[in-house]
Amino acid sequence: MTTPTRATTAPTTTSATSAPTTTTKAWVAAGMSALLAFLSSIATALGGAETGWSSITPGQWITAVIAAVVAFGSAAGITYAVPNRVKLP
């Protein structure tokens, strides 16, 4: 008698044109989204009458970090939820 085991791979889909999503794709998408959000926030904070790294307030640094965290979490979840397309021969 065999005991059932829990699946440890990504969920599969029943569609003939999709394949399971890889975690690597989700990590890369999340990292790039977080970096883009952080740099966009910092670029916005650097613009204005006073420029330079010393002109960025602690609140602007916190906003940039929060934007990066939100982007990382949402991109990872959304990317992992969408299956890859199967490459047709």
pTM (two decimals) = 0.65
- Asked if residues 35 and 68 have their Cβ atoms less than 8 Å apart, the reply is yes
Residue 9 within a domain:
no
Residue 85, amino acid = R
Q: Is residue 10 part of a domain?
A: no
Quote the pLDDT of residue 61: 93
Is position 2 within any domain?
Answer: no
Each residue of 63-83: pLDDT tens digit? Answer: 999 999 999 999 988 888 877
The confidence score (pLDDT) of residue 83 equals 77
Structural domain of residue 27, as residue ranges?
A: 19-85
The total number of structural domains in the chain stands at: 1
Determine the Cα–Cα distance for residues 35 and 33; give it in Å rounded to an integer.
5
* C-alpha to C-alpha distance for 10 and 20, rounded to whole angstroms: 6
pLDDT at position 59: 93
Residues 6+ apart with CB under 8 A from 23: 10, 80
pLDDT of residue 31: 94
| Residue 1 maps to a domain | no
Q: What is the pLDDT, as a whole number, of residue 3?
A: 54
6-35 pLDDT tens trace: 555 555 544 555 666 678 888 899 999 999
Distance CA(40)–CA(66), nearest Å, equals 12
